[in-house]
Structure 1
Amino acid sequence: MPSGEKGEAGVLDTSNAPRAIRFRHVKEECTTECAGTVRLNENGDALELCSSNQWSVLYAPIQRDVLGPVSQHEITPPKSCLDARLRSAGYDNGMYWINAKPGTNEFSSRVYCDMTTSGGGWTLVAKVTQNFAWVCPEQNGNACTSSSSSIDPRQSNLFHNVHERDVVDFVEEYGRESGTHLRNSLIREIFMSGRRQIRFTFISGNGWEASDDAYASFRHTDDTSSLFADDTWEMYSRTNGDFSWNIIKHQRAEKSFSGDIICWGNTDDINYRYYEGGLHMGLPTEDGKPCHLLQDTEAIMLKSHYATMGSGQPTWATNQCGLLGSEMFGVISSKVAIWVR
């Protein structure tokens, strides 16, 4: 289209566009020959990129006003993967730019979005792809029981700030990067402004095909105010109606997958579960210890016993169960992913 020529969705001025960017007629097919070109869609409310022989919507639509079609060429990122999905800004799984709190750059981030599972709109907030390497990398993948004094047992909490990253991608990683999470404040902003759902994805084989997948839907009341907040802890019970448990996939049907309680605690001052903090999900014990999960090799849980926190200085647990499970404590998975929506 020549500079300033009018297409069906309005006028595109390409006179100052970089040579690498080419604009096409809105109805032109995406072929190998026009890969890398950009077009304004037929509605005039989004930019699309030609890639892999199909037009893909870019991460955010162009803003519109009541005077319609295209009033300004400002691109505003969605507040979350869910917002992107609801605004039709993305239907494909992958990395998206979001700004969870418009008006400030504090919560601007690049995140991985699952746009297809159970309606889509899931933001990946944490993952574990090795059992011990992210906690005590100097042990070369072995348990942390003999770790040096330079490794604080509190770091066995997946949501400890030492494991915080600006980006958590949906790929398998090793060593220190095998257990990471987004900033807790960002996770909380997405969670509290969305549907208040947490999803637990367990993978038992190679790749990222889920073997067991479920999400908890919390009530939109103040009793979810502790989740992903620092210096707080709380136990939520499915029996008490704090949340509902929704199973997406349960391939290992011989194992229970009930999600009876969900616990959150992220502080060095409160020994809320006698073990390390963070996010946990599963079956509770009957010993009266808050958020102490049952030892059950027939139950799929997000459970760990890396460190003992119940008395005095934190120490490494003698028998360790990582977040991917162990033969003594719980069902074993190869990877775990945690999402919010």
Structure 2
Amino acid sequence: MNQTAAPLVIAEPALMHLVAQWLDHLGSERRLADKTLTAYERDVSQFLSFMTIHLGGAPGADEISRLTPADIRAFFARRRMEGAGARTLARGLAGLRSFLGYLEKKGLANAAAVRAVRAPRQPKTLPKPLNTADAARVVDADESLSEEPWIGARDAAVLTLLYGCGLRISEALGLTRAQAPTHETRVLRIVGKGGKERLVPVLPVVGEAVAQYLKLCPFAIDDDGALFRGARGGPLSPRIIQLAMQRLRGALGLPDTATPHALRHSFATHLLAGGGDLRTIQELLGHASLSTTQVYTGVDTERLVAIYRKAHPRA
């Protein structure tokens, strides 16, 4: 299949050097996640490619300093024509704002143009948590479909961490042997997105699931080695857990929305339904902003309305 090649990134060397400095600043000082850095680098590269065509030549710091809101809007109009969605465009605008803000602090640009451009309205989507019964079935090791008992215990331990502690899958798989929760463990110290550190309470069932996995695991694991291992002994890939969840969905008759990340959503939603306050749930999830956590109030409201319509005689 023939595909149209993206325009080459052409910019003056001095500007490309500034891009590299900005990315280094985000990684070393702001401690942004690698995925975010990669996305920001790609977004700014696309913008510079666009500016090469827009200006008819390689852009430099001078051209960037004279940007207008119309230039920025023209770039995002092009990206929209290429099929970029609202979330992609919003992230691209955030990356461009960050870069121009960095140049502004150095006295090399005015970021007013990019600040004048509004982010596209995001479609409202609510998390799709599992109900409490289905979440319990998912994390039950006895229902694993693996022929290898230790692999079944491993998958159950990972899924129990996601639901019992509200971890992201990357956080669970990032644990070392020394960090493994035990029967005596009361809290886990987790380093999440952007290097943000938080303490997460550990339920006894989580320690039991991890202990069962370690008892059956055929590999010797050093204290600083990855806690969860793949079939050949290397660090476990998130894809393996996603596939395990896919098999469980089929076996348990769960919808496609029942993913590993849905267990984290379930953790938050079930805490809220049980009387947990948003500030506490925000801390447990490691959200930088309370507005991110507030999405779960929408989930709980939907649940209450569904119960009302089902139970009320006049509904």
Please give the range of the TM-score, normalised by the shorter of the 2 chains: under 0.3
TM-score of the aligned structures, taking structure 1 as reference length: 0.19
Higher helix proportion (structure 1 or 2): 2
Higher RCO (CA-CA < 8 Å; seq separation 6+): 2
